[in-house]
Amino acid sequence: MLCCSPEEVDVNEVNNSKVSIQERAGLYDIKAVTEIPLLEAPEEFSCELHIPQANYTVRKEAIYYPGK
């Protein structure tokens, strides 16, 4: 849900993740936090932001390599 007056934060629970949205001067900061099990092998993570009203989608991907 996008709402929020400046500096107001909207927090939702999505698939055991905590998602917070903060609006500042017409821009949004979006943060998702979750706990994952201990990783023993490389794992790919991805995040997709989709704004239907603007016909806009962006996807970011990262590979995590666990240390020894």
Angle at CA 17, nearest 5°, toward 13 and 53? 65
Q: How confident is the model at residue 61 (pLDDT cuts 50, 70, 90)?
A: very high
CB 64 within 8 A of CB 39: yes
* All residues at 6 or more sequence positions from 2 whose CB lies less than 8 Å from its CB, including other chains: 10, 21, 23, 28
- The residue type of 46 is S
| pTM higher than the cut 0.85 | no
Please give the Cα distance from 35 to 13 (Å, whole number): 13
Mean pLDDT of 50-55: 88
Q: Give yes or no for a contact between 57 and 48, defined as CB atoms under 8 angstroms apart.
A: yes
Q: What percent of the chain has pLDDT over 90?
A: 25
Mean pLDDT of the chain: 80
